[in-house]
A = this chain, B = another copy of it.
Amino acid sequence: MFELELHASHGAARAGILHTPHGAIATPVFAPVGTQATVKAVQPRELRELGAMLILSNTYHLYIRPGDALIRDLGGLHRFMGWDGPILTDSGGFQVFSLGDLRQVDDDGVTFRSHLDGSQHRFTPEKSVQIQHNLGSDIIMAFDECPPPLDRQTVQAACKRTTLWARRCAEEHLRSGDPSRQALFGIVQGGVFHDLRAKSAQEITALDLPGYAIGGLAVGETKAQMHATLESTLPLLPADRPRYLMGVGSPEDLVNGVARGIDIFDCVLPTRVARNGSALTRRGRINMRNLEHASDAAPLEAGCQCYACQHFSRAYIRHLVKAGEILAHQLLTLHNLHLLLTLMREMRAAIVDGAFSAYAAEFLRQYRPAGKETDAPSAA
């Protein structure tokens, strides 16, 4: 279980199959985010129809509401949310660190107040792993400290803590978990500092875990810094284990990440952008509130095979957005997820066909990235 079967590579890009207790995942894969045990505005049957093969859910949010013990008692997260495919949960670390004034960090863990009712709670590496045991996700993440990526001293301290906490997570998972049913992935930190990344990679891979993530990117650095960090760090990770770039998911970041050897991505971007009234297309983002779409009978994207594009005009979707209708969220979310999941399938096929670099170059040539928007994942 949890072996990565590598089928093909092209440059640094890799195509494979990752085996999990809830099915095989064709990699590279993009995981839609279901923060509160639902990918917002999408039904599980629609995720299947879209070809989603992995979804992410958030430990902090589920711990706070409805509670991980309740989910365990109801048969685990898969049954609770009606999704029988693979699930990855984060550790809750990113969310509790995002709580700002509501949390206090020490070397043992983080004490924080719930963003819902102000009640006090404490996460330790052991607690995070135990919660993820209760949730029963296929891939669980080590509890880490995710610092702002540009301040060397903060990053260095966070790396040290991340390593100590990763060891405690690994011990707790062996003690109270079932590694044949849930894979614990380690997280490499280090911001944009290549030497810190190298040290973190060495310490984390020493734990011999079934997969590794790159944390702490897409939170303030430039694209060039992100790419350079991936290029310096990924060769330090074992080639036979899946590599997960956390919280990244704009179309251009997916292509650039795959090109550098990433196998797994997750991001709220496609679903959040949809709820803000925008569509992702192969040429860039379009804001459906704009007057130019008011009488446009064309679909969101010509040639797109998604349900929204097959049945509805831009004029109709703009009307729904302007009128605040739930169907706007539904249709834009379906379309945006369809684009990213199709993009992943196309990249995988291109890798297998030895045509990835041409595919990536052509995609990036057509794609106009969004201006100042950040693709950072949701804070709590």
Contacts and interface: CB of A to CB of B under 8 A. Distances in A.
Given A80-B315, A326-B329, A70 B295 contact: yes
Given A70-B295, A82-B311, A326-B329, A319 B65 contact: yes
Interface string A69-104: 010011100001110000000000000000000000
B38 A315 contact: no
Contacts of A316: 37, 74, 80-82
Contacts of A38: 320, 325-327
A51 to B, nearest CB: 18
Given A80-B316, A315-B80, A326-B326, A297 B65 contact: no
A43 B307 contact: yes
B43 A294 contact: no
A319 B37 CA distance: 9
Residue of A38, A70, A75 with most partner-chain B CB within 10 A = A38
A307 B45 contact: yes
Contact of A311 (B41, B44, B73): B44
A43 B36 CA distance: 23
B37 A315 contact: no
A322 interface: yes
A36 B38 CA distance: 26
A238 interface: no
A202 interface: no
A16 to B, nearest CB: 31
Interface string A118-158: 00000000000000000000000000000000000000000
A114 interface: no
B36 A74 contact: no
A41 B327 contact: yes
- Which 8 residue pairs spanning A and B have beta carbons closest together? A82-B311, A41-B326, A66-B319, A38-B327, A36-B323, A38-B325, A82-B312, A80-B316
Given A36-B323, A41-B327, A45-B311, 17 more contacts: A37-B316, A38-B325, A40-B325, A40-B327, A43-B327, A43-B330, A66-B294, A66-B315, A70-B295, A70-B315, A73-B295, A74-B297, A75-B297, A80-B319, A82-B311, A326-B329, A326-B330
16 contacts: A36-B325, A37-B316, A38-B325, A38-B326, A38-B327, A40-B327, A41-B327, A45-B311, A66-B315, A66-B318, A66-B319, A70-B294, A74-B297, A81-B316, A82-B312, A326-B326
Interface of A: 36-38, 40-45, 65-66, 70, 73-75, 80-82, 294-295, 297, 307, 311-313, 315-316, 318-320, 322-323, 325-327, 329-331
